[in-house]
Structure 1
Amino acid sequence: MTVTPHLFNELHWNYWKTKVFVSAVQLDVFTELTEGPADSAALVDRLGLNERAGRDYLDCLVAMGLLRREAGGYANTEESAAYFDRAKSHAYLGDVMLTEAAHLGDDLAAALTGGRSREGAASAREFYANTYADADRTRSFQRAMTAMSFASGAALAERLPWERHRSFVDIGCAEGAVGVHLLRRHPHLSGIGFDLPGARAGFETYVAAHGLAGRTVFQGGDFLSGPLPAADVVIFGHVLHNWDLDVKLALLRKAHAALPPGGLVVVYEALIDDERERNVVGLLLSLMMHLSLPGGYDYTSAECAGWLRETGFTDIRAEHLAGAEAMVVGCK
């Protein structure tokens, strides 16, 4: 049996939805709303949640159909009130869920209430240093990034006016899957894959396997401590969500400095919808950032557009790419 990427994604995100649901039962979210709606700040306080992650968590429950948002704040849906409010002992199913899914939500519940990453890393910088210090972990991480970026990379190759540009740099390139899509589709392009030095071997192996070693190069570096490579298009794929707002803005300023007039910055992620109630994958990813990368979080296209304006970009637009992912593009 062949497992398709679509099936893998469905299974992967269903696993995370179950973790979120189980943790909500553990934390008695639905029982806490017995008396009626509560606003975000009050509910986060009453549940003892980490303030930074709490809103993403509650909005994830909304997107999953387990809570609803109304003028008074967050409230139970009819189903969650009927079966997961501990006060309704005659119909409560929470104990059954916790028995059948023992410990599944433990790490999420602990991170939400304690504010500590499950890997113990104190920052995203430490997380990536640990990842790239181990060859097996590096390989596993790079392959996962290829799987996550593959469909968006193919879409990106079709969605920009590449005929107007000659070069690109893929920031946090991992194996270089996005660049491979661009180079195969547009023979006039040349590319740079920019990442921590530990990513070099995986990048060069992947690019060579696709016969493109002559058109793209790997450049090792740390974008927190130095400039970005110059190119006509700067791409941030699944990068900005790893960092806090100050680093997000600093990276966008560095992109602006690296571009020529008329150059483009492209930011793509599983962007949260502006209403924060439909793209459950974006909200789940934000929870994953809270779990693993202290300071990191996902964001809406409107938030990203605001950061691009703040850092000097114009002609900003947002567009769907593939699946749950979208891009925001700005021009220098």
Structure 2
Amino acid sequence: MAEQLDPSQIMQIGSGFWASKVLLSAVELELFTELGRDGATGAGLVHGLGLAPRAVPDFPDALVALGLLDRDGDGVEAVYRNTPETLFFLDKASPAYIGGVLEMFNARLFRFWGDLTEALRTGLPQNEVKHTGESMFPALYDDPEKLEQFMQAMVGISMGGFEALADTFDFSGYSAVCDVGGATGQLSLVLAGRHPHLRCTTFDLPAVEPIARRTIAAAGLADRVVAASGDFFRDPLPAADVVTMSLILHDWNLERKMRLLQAAYEALPAGGALVVVENIIDNERRKNVFGLLMSLNMLIELGDGFDFTGADITRWCKQVGFQKVDIMPLAGPTSAAIAYK
């Protein structure tokens, strides 16, 4: 008897945008923050979030079925509660809140991904550049509100990898770190918090520096973490014996990737290390789904930016002069490529 074929995976993937939008709308409405530790009935959610009565019970029950909420009881008296994960990661009262990246997905990327077919046919970005003629970054850096939203989103998507890097890589032989494209300075703050001997510089464009300074001051680490500004394609990188780049290389085409790797090599002393944190794709290009989808996101956002495998980054680093490259798994789909000079 022939094997019974099952279309359920095809249908689950094909309708995946339904589940995605339910989560993204819940984050936009701050549902998880509204529930907090106490929970609420369906009627409480209608009142607290300003929902139409028709939204309940379908909306919160869909979140229950997706494993994103718990529910005590049934019917109109049922109480909805956060799961341990949503309370930790999606309640804005939590210091581990990662909703910033989901807010950006909802506000920007959800509609841009509707034009993926056009991107695949043309190789052109499908974001704001279609309407303004400018690339993503000038538009972003000209709008302080959007810039800060983007910076906070990058914190959310990167924090797990930052924490793992601080715990896994041996920083004991190094004294100074320069985080290139450091955004809010979060990686520098994590490293300085874990390793009291380190002095860290977060380096980004001038428009970002005030955001980083505020974040550093709020963390109480201004004595060991400083914000510096410049253009990493034009200006020398600040002196350090470790240079880090997190979710920076994938923004660029190969020629610009190589320029950044060369700049890092030239900035480092002998014995220094470059640490590249990315969603590094497995060499067989079969397993890291998030890394592959992120590379398609670079097509949507930038056209010629792309993610890469461990073999790719190893080859590029050796081409600019690094002697040895290790690939270190971090959190989830994230890994670090460690290149030693």
Match of residue 148 from structure 2: 139
Q: Which amino acid aligns with 1:306?
A: R
| SS of corresponding position for 1:236 | strand
Match of residue 123 from structure 2: 115
Match of residue 256 from structure 2: 247
Match of residue 171 from structure 1: 180
Q: What whole-Å deviation, never above 9, does each CA across 1:141-167 have from its counterpart, x for those lacking one? A: 110011111111111112222110100
| SS of corresponding position for 1:173 | coil
Shift in CA distance, 104/252, structure 1 to aligned 2, threshold 3 Å: closer
Match of residue 318 from structure 1: 327
What TM-score do the two structures reach when normalised by structure 2? 0.67
Instruction: Please give the alpha-carbon distance, in whole angstroms, between the structure 1 residues aligned to 2:302 and 2:275.
Output: 22
Instruction: Please give the alpha-carbon distance, in whole angstroms, between the structure 2 residues aligned to 1:116 and 1:276.
Output: 23
Q: Does 1:215 align with 2:236?
A: no
Instruction: Please give the alpha-carbon distance, in whole angstroms, between the structure 1 residues aligned to 2:242 and 2:140.
Output: 27
| Identical columns (%) | 35
Instruction: Please give the alpha-carbon distance, in whole angstroms, between the structure 2 residues aligned to 1:176 and 1:214.
Output: 14
Using the TM superposition, give the Cα deviation of residue 260 of structure 1 relative to its aligned residue in structure 2, in angstroms. Answer: 0.7
Q: Which amino acid aligns with 1:182?
A: L
Q: Which amino acid aligns with 1:215?
A: R
Match of residue 234 from structure 1: 243
Instruction: Please give the alpha-carbon distance, in whole angstroms, between the structure 2 residues aligned to 1:141 and 1:104.
Output: 15
Q: Verify the 8 A CA contact 1:223 1:251 in the aligned structure 2.
A: yes
| SS of corresponding position for 2:330 | strand
Q: Verify the 8 A CA contact 1:241 1:296 in the aligned structure 2.
A: yes
Q: Which amino acid aligns with 2:190?
A: H
Match of residue 32 from structure 2: none
| SS of corresponding position for 1:169 | strand
C-alpha RMSD over aligned residues: 2.7
Q: Verify the 8 A CA contact 2:262 2:320 in the aligned structure 1.
A: yes
Task: Trace 1:44-193 onto structure 2 (pairs within 5 A).
Answer: 106-121=114-129, 126-193=135-202
Match of residue 279 from structure 1: 288
Shift in CA distance, 186/294, structure 1 to aligned 2, threshold 3 Å: same
What TM-score do the two structures reach when normalised by structure 1? 0.69
Shift in CA distance, 234/104, structure 1 to aligned 2, threshold 3 Å: closer
Shift in CA distance, 162/104, structure 1 to aligned 2, threshold 3 Å: closer
Instruction: Please give the alpha-carbon distance, in whole angstroms, between the structure 1 residues aligned to 2:293 and 2:118.
Output: 16
- Of 270, 295, 298, the residue aligned with 2:304 is 295
Q: Verify the 8 A CA contact 1:314 1:331 in the aligned structure 2.
A: yes
Q: Which amino acid aligns with 1:313?
A: F
Match of residue 197 from structure 1: 206
Q: Verify the 8 A CA contact 2:202 2:226 in the aligned structure 1.
A: yes
Shift in CA distance, 104/156, structure 1 to aligned 2, threshold 3 Å: closer
Q: Which amino acid aligns with 1:106?
A: G
Unaligned runs of 5+ in 2: 1-34, 36-81, 91-96
Using the TM superposition, give the Cα deviation of residue 330 of structure 1 relative to its aligned residue in structure 2, in angstroms. Answer: 0.9
Instruction: Please give the alpha-carbon distance, in whole angstroms, between the structure 2 residues aligned to 1:253 and 1:142.
Output: 26
Q: Verify the 8 A CA contact 2:279 2:290 in the aligned structure 1.
A: yes
Q: Which amino acid aligns with 1:127?
A: M
Using the TM superposition, give the Cα deviation of residue 106 of structure 1 relative to its aligned residue in structure 2, in angstroms. Answer: 3.0
Q: Which amino acid aligns with 2:181?
A: G
Using the TM superposition, give the Cα deviation of residue 216 of structure 1 relative to its aligned residue in structure 2, in angstroms. Answer: 1.3
Using the TM superposition, give the Cα deviation of residue 221 of structure 1 relative to its aligned residue in structure 2, in angstroms. Answer: 0.8
